[in-house]
Structure 1
Amino acid sequence: MTVQLVLATHNAHKVEELRRILGAQLDGIELIGYDGPEPVEDADSFGGNALIKARAAALHTGLAAIADDSGISVDALGGAPGIHSARYAGHRDDRENLELLLANLASATDRAAQFTCAAALVVGDFEHVELGVWPGSVLREPAGAGGFGYDPVFQPEGIDVSAAQLTADEKNAVSHRARAFGQIMPVVRAQLL
């Protein structure tokens, strides 16, 4: 018997990516997509926004739900774009967001940055959040055709290529999303199985 767990996203690619990241940790759990309304993400933290999404999916479906919120924070920009990463240039356009980030860092010598992912679980009245952080720096120009978002300009700490130059398996083994969901899965399993 398997237990259903809703991933609060309308992005089928994210569902598949998370299935690949979690692999055997999903044994006994069927991860399903979400078809309900998208809530307003108006919290002031990644964890707060992830909880908003997980709560909405749990309420809409009546099932346990997980969600994530993630973005890149750059030291020289005071942590920006942070929770506004997806709409940094004013709307959801990866290329424009990336170009604005590079323009804002044009004269910066400190290029330290980190990707952060908050993974949230909601099961009835139980709520839990885990954070995964992937430290690195922002390159001066994009490199690589893989990944999405800011991956072409993010060089993970200890790796000599951009996140967009990693294979999907390489990225899924070390990314902020892998770290956050790896930390929350024991809690998910304890709550559901």
Structure 2
Amino acid sequence: MELIFATHNQHKLEEVKQMLPQNLQFKSLTEINFHDEIEETGTTFIENATIKSQTIFQKTGVNVFADDSGLVIEGLNGAPGVYSARYAGTGKSEDNIAKVLEELKGNENRKAYFIAVFCLILDGKEYFFEGRVNGTISEEILGADGFGYDPIFIPEGHTKSFAQMTAEEKNSMSHRGRAVEQLNEFLTKIA
């Protein structure tokens, strides 16, 4: 089965490749020479994942999956949410953590969750898979591994941030790991 993962994000690509079986082959947008920016105009994670999948499916006719994911912080009324990647502004991903920590100063409610929603388009039909992990936001950067908000997110029941964990530890409990597990189970059933 030919399959495209609708992402240019190298970190996401590597993470998903580690989680899916090696016999499940897929190509990234870079590998199919698709370099256009897909505008994420949705107001929900499902809408944004669908926009990405539909765009690539319409242009290529090839089975495709895409995800949208983000960090939802209770003490910030759900922010950064669908704007997680561009919370501090477009192209300012390194400032996102600083903005979150600044906005949470003095706020005792640091409950948060990461969510990932995958939209798979297979033979023109849409399927959705969702993963979520609850946790809290630390008061400072903890660890240097991972990407995005990993250095400030401590999953429930743990004392280390995602950035302090090995890739295997993180993937076993992460939002993306949980969604990819469902995607893999589905693809295995239909294979």
What's the C-alpha RMSD, in Å, of the aligned pairs? Answer: 1.4
Q: CA deviation at 1:188?
A: 3.0
* Alignment partner, residue 152 of structure 1: 151
- How far apart are the structure 1 equivalents of 2:81 and 2:134? 14
AA aligned to 1:18 is V
Find the counterpart in structure 2 of residue 110 from structure 1: 109
Please, which of 26, 32, 35 is the counterpart of residue 31 of structure 1?
A: 26
Q: What are structure 1's unaligned runs of at least 5 residues?
A: none
Report the more deviating stretch, 8-17 or 177-186: 8-17
Residue aligned with 1:43, SS: coil
1:94 Cα deviation after fit? 2.9
Partner AA of 1:169 in structure 2: E
| TM-score of the pair, normalised by structure 1 | 0.91
Matched, 1:18 2:13: no
Query: What residue number does 1:47 align with?
Result: 46
Does residue 131 of structure 2 align to residue 124 of structure 1?
no
Cα distance in 2 for residues equivalent to 1:189 and 1:64: 15
State the distance in 2 between where 1:80 and 1:185 align: 30
Aligned-pair CA distance for 1:135: 0.5
Match of 1:60 in 2: 59
Residues 1:186 and 2:185 aligned together: yes
Q: Is the 8 A contact 2:11 2:147 kept in 1?
A: no
Q: CA deviation at 1:190?
A: 4.3
Partner residue of 2:3?
A: 5
Q: Is the 8 A contact 1:12 1:33 kept in 2?
A: no
Q: 1:187 Cα shift? A: 2.6
Corresponding residue SS for 1:30: coil
Q: Residues 114 and 136 of structure 1 are in contact (CA less than 8 Å); yes or no, is this contact kept in structure 2?
A: yes
- Does the CA-based 8 Å contact 1:121-1:188 persist in structure 2? no
Q: Give distance in 2, aligned partners of 1:124 and 1:48.
A: 19
Distance, in Å, in 1 between the alignment partners of 2:79 and 2:8 is 25
In 1, Cα distance between the equivalents of 2:100 and 2:106? Answer: 12
How does 1:71-86 map onto structure 2 within 5 Å?
71-86=70-85
3-state DSSP of counterpart to 1:120: strand
The answer to whether the 8 Å contact 2:70/2:80 transfers is: yes
Q: Which amino acid aligns with 2:26?
A: L
TM-score by length of 2: 0.92
Q: How far did residue 189 of structure 1 move?
A: 3.7
